[in-house]
Chains A and B, each alone.
Chain A
Amino acid sequence: MSIKIGVPRGMYFYKYYPFTKAFLTELGAEMVPSPQTNKEILDMGSRYCIDDACLPVKVYHGHVQYLKDKVDYMLIPRLTSVVPREYICPKFGGLPEMVKFSLPELPQIIDVEIDLYKRKSNLIKALYAVGKRFTSNPYLIKRAAAKAAKELNIYENTLLQGCLPGKYMNETDIPVSNNGPLIGIATHPYLLYDSFINMKLLEKLSNKGIKFLLPEMLDKKVIEEKCSVLGKRMFWSSSKDLIGSALYMMDNSKIDGILMLTSFGCGIDSLSIDLIERLGRKTYRKPFMVITLDEHTGDANFNTRLEAFLDLVYRREMM
């Protein structure tokens, strides 16, 4: 029987899912992802995690708690930096520790550090460190890494063409509508693709016949170019994606409105959203709304705000 490796469905799960899956499967291990976030997982997360952590971290704790008795190993990578000279967020770097010291009786954790701040080749070292647990043959690890990189490339290209991760993973498929207003949604992948914590936002929009543009559908070059208006180089890759895509959405005349999702207590967003507002408001007049999510967000008030926003978009179209 192959070794079972738990992969919690939180944080950058949707960003690196194909990579993780291909790499682990190729090494002969079985990847066990946790199910979609549900009430039980969220409650467990907020019970075990410290109070003032942000929503995605709490959700992550819930997923780890759900998986812990079902697997042999738990994969909680320490994603210090995934782009050279850029960090993600201190909480990504300290994630293995936060989980380790908050949840009791965990299986063995694979907390490999992925730190590409100084050089990209650190990724190879990290992959060998993980691979060594399963096989002593370096060629197998190399093959697995190459396959994983290929899969990730395919996945990113699919997303770039407007496909959602749910469809790629054969889990859920949201029919994307072809006409109607186009709305840009700028947010982090862990809020965007977790349909439980964002109150099924994408599904709701599709049902109303609204098209949407997501940060993953934008070319990296576009994001890079838009970020050059900042006075200082942006040293968080997560914030760069957010600011770059939001500014692109403001600039593109095809887009009728911009929606931003943020989680309560997100340190990166507290600065990024203000930067976007201050940089964008002077030049552009477009409906722009920020919705803050936390574990107490209710469906009813979320709908009210979404409808108000959409009304604004429709009214502008008529004018």
Chain B
Amino acid sequence: MKLTYPHMGEAYIAAKAMFDDLGIESIIPPFSTQSTLRLGAKESPESVCLPFKIMLGNYVRSIEEGADTIVITGSCGPCRFGYYGPLQKLILEDMGYDVDMIILDPPREGINKFFQNIKKLSGGESHKSFKVFLSAYKVCEQIDKLNEIQYFVRPRAKDKAKINSIMHRFRSQVLYAKGSKEISDLIEKTMDQLLTLDIDMEMKPIKIGIIGEIYTIIDPFSNLNAEDRLGDMGAEVHRSMTVRDWAENNLIKPLKREKPYKLEKELSKPYLPVLIGGHTQQCIGHAVNYARSGYDGLIQIYPMSCMPEIVSRSILPQIEKDYGIPILYLIVDEQTGEAGYQTRLEAFYDYVENRRRRQSSSKQAQST
């Protein structure tokens, strides 16, 4: 059995750590590129959302490298993600690829099936898989830390090319690291390298929070590296959802019988009192949270025709008014052009920075 899984930002690092520890051979799909997307888009339904197309491209690329089993998580609505698996399997069959697909639906959809899948994945050693899962979760925590260092360092660094080369080296080395131990050592090393860079501590960069649909904010290919672009302009970004955050709320908290996404649900209550699917409540909750923590601007990123995020998109203007925080809405699909995207990010950066300067000068004028 040669496993593969779709890309979603840094998720491949944690997945690799987990499968290495379990001793299962896994193939990381080649990093998503325009040609991956073109390949996926050609075979996908025309108006399906972007993640579907990228994932399908990932599968085909992995199968070409010899993978024969695909593993993905599932859900049962109301977002379209829950039906990705069955349809993608049909498409792959029609394309002439005979692969096995393991869809990990949440346990409430049938506990037997869930354990069968886990057993299939762990090769019969279920007791070991729990320990392995925890160490993979630790890797996720480290990746989050690494990202947060990057968010802090990037706008302040004097030589931004150095960050890019450190991160590039990390991404190429991590493919050859084996198991969670080696991977976490490598992450530690990369963090140290980032921290020794020459940075300008006096600088007060504007702060921008990234909210929106989970896949498109986590996966840098789908959002055209929005975080790095903003960081290079001189903004300190923060991304509202990460792989660790997802794992904590969907896997760990239910086990501990805690309620997931408590803060987000509390904060989004005045705007959207109930769960309607996808990450709408989380998006609204994070927007309020960022606005209250003194962020200067927000960017909502979501794939074209995403059902839950369209609902949050219509609520966000009210938050804009209530908290006086500017929000940029970016919709991505396979047609998104780089130049137009960059222009919009730059315009937003300039606007937010100007706005902060005006506000602080009017505050000074008032106090004198």
Contact = CB atoms under 8 A, between A and B. Distances in A.
Interface of A: 49-50, 52-54, 78, 80, 86-91, 93-94, 97-98, 101-102, 113, 115, 230-236, 264-271, 273-275, 278-279
Contacts of B9: none
A274 B80 contact: no
B56 to A, nearest CB: 12
A265 B274 CA distance: 24
A75 to B, nearest CB: 18
Contact of A93 (B87, B105, B276, B315): B276
Interface string B305-316: 111101101110
A49 B314 CA distance: 8
Contacts of A87: 77-78, 277
Main SS class of interface, A: mixed
Interface size class of B (residues with CB under 8 A): 35 or more
Contacts of B254: none
Contacts of B331: 52
Given A232-B83, A235-B77, A278-B94, A273 B45 contact: yes
Given A50-B313, A91-B311, A267-B306, A278 B48 contact: no
Contacts of B220: none
Given A90-B278, A232-B85, A52 B79 contact: no
Interface in B276-331: 276-278, 280, 304-308, 310-311, 313-315, 317-318, 331
8 contacts: A90-B280, A94-B308, A267-B306, A268-B80, A270-B49, A270-B80, A270-B305, A274-B45
A101 B313 CA distance: 10
B82 A98 contact: no
Contacts of B202: none
A94 B109 CA distance: 24
A102 B271 CA distance: 13
Please give me the 4 A-B residue pairs with the lowest Cβ-Cβ distance, nearest first: A93-B276, A94-B311, A87-B78, A235-B77
Given A266-B47, A278-B90, A50 B310 contact: yes
Contacts of B45: 270-271, 273-274
A270 B53 CA distance: 12
Contacts of B78: 87-90, 93, 235-236
B161 interface: no
Contacts of A49: 314
A102 B48 contact: no
Contact of B276 (A50, A86, A90, A269): A90
Contacts of B76: 233, 235
A94 B90 contact: no
Given A93-B274, A98-B310, A115-B274, 14 more contacts: A50-B314, A52-B313, A90-B308, A91-B307, A94-B280, A94-B311, A97-B272, A231-B89, A231-B90, A232-B82, A267-B49, A269-B47, A270-B49, A273-B45
Interface string B83-126: 10111011100100000000101000100000000000000000
B99 to A, nearest CB: 14
Q: Which of A53, A87, A90, A113 has its CB near the most chain B CB atoms (within 10 A)?
A: A90
Given A78-B274, A97-B315, A271 B310 contact: no
